[in-house]
Structure 1
Amino acid sequence: MKALLFFSLLLGGGGLPGTAGPAPAPRAETVAVTVVVTNLRSTESVVKLNFYNAPDKFLKAGQSALRLAVKPNGKTEISVPVELARGEWAVALSQDTNDNGRMDRNFLGIPTEPYAFSNNVRPHLSAPNFEQCKFLVEGGGKVVSITLVP
């Protein structure tokens, strides 16, 4: 049941209403970060990225600080530039390979579509936590590499 809850919350569970979700609150300073996503199963299906900067909001539906959707446009790897405030961040992402607007799961609630977390955390029986997935944004030029779980 814990796995079902985890995968229900993965990336907010539902469809993505637009190409970008709620923007983070205005910050005094942001820096350039590039998220590189590899091992895309589809070269055309949307990759959804959710950025979190608070442990208590991590993987909770509608609680991401920033939400993006990116089409790979024929590529098996994408680079996503984003401006983030200095501090600790974590990313959860998925690829909607059948373009139905949601994360498909099997009867146990385990995703049947590719997903991943920053630091390439691979959950086994329960959701990872913010501490496992966090990375530090201190200055420009930060690159976060993430490989999708097929």
Structure 2
Amino acid sequence: MQVLKLTLLTAACASAGLVSTPALASGDPTATTSVTVVVSALASTSSSVKLYFYNVREKFLTHGGYAFMRVVKPSGQKQITLPVDLPNGEWAVAITQDTNNNDKLDKNFMGIPTEPFAFSNNVRPRLAPPAFDDCKFMVGGTGKVVNISLLKMK
């Protein structure tokens, strides 16, 4: 009975923000982890870089299927660094650089991008878009750095 009272008291205090317990925090579905995405080998030091963050396998690379998107200006640099707080779990990132500043990813007649793009884990697709499982990385625990090198199309 004493253990039950202590458990209930601890849970009530934790939910009120009065104490923090690792056991409760680890099971918290709203827990986030600081992730720093570093994108290197930019094709342009002035064109916008768009980062699309996905956390649902079935929505990966579908129109509007990303959890959120960020646009970053390189400000004269060949590399950008973007810190984000992500909910713990599986994530994948798709990146494009709009080198002609027309606010879209240009493609050739076969649907292949003619502007630079990249995916987390530096996946380099050959004949088809990559799968979520190829690009995913785990978020949880301590901070994480995700390094991605932009792929330039010829």
TM-score by length of 2: 0.78
Q: Percent identity?
A: 57
Structure 1 stretches (4+) deviating beyond 2 angstroms?
none
Separation in 2 of the partners of 1:43 and 1:59? Answer: 26
Separation in 2 of the partners of 1:77 and 1:113? Answer: 17
Separation in 1 of the partners of 2:30 and 2:89? Answer: 12
Separation in 2 of the partners of 1:102 and 1:125? Answer: 21
> RMSD of aligned C-alpha atoms?
0.9
Q: Equivalences for 1:1-150 in 2 at 5 Å?
A: 28-150=30-152
In the comparison of the two structures, how many residue pairs are matched?
124
Give, as a single letter, the amino acid of the residue that structure 2 aligns with 1:58: F
Q: Which of the pair has more CA radius of gyration?
A: 2
Ranked by relative contact order (alpha carbons within 8 Å, sequence separation 6 or more), the top structure is 1
Separation in 2 of the partners of 1:61 and 1:139? Answer: 31
Structure with greater helix share of residues: 2
Unaligned runs of 5+ in 2: 1-28
TM-score by length of 1: 0.80
Separation in 1 of the partners of 2:122 and 2:30? Answer: 30
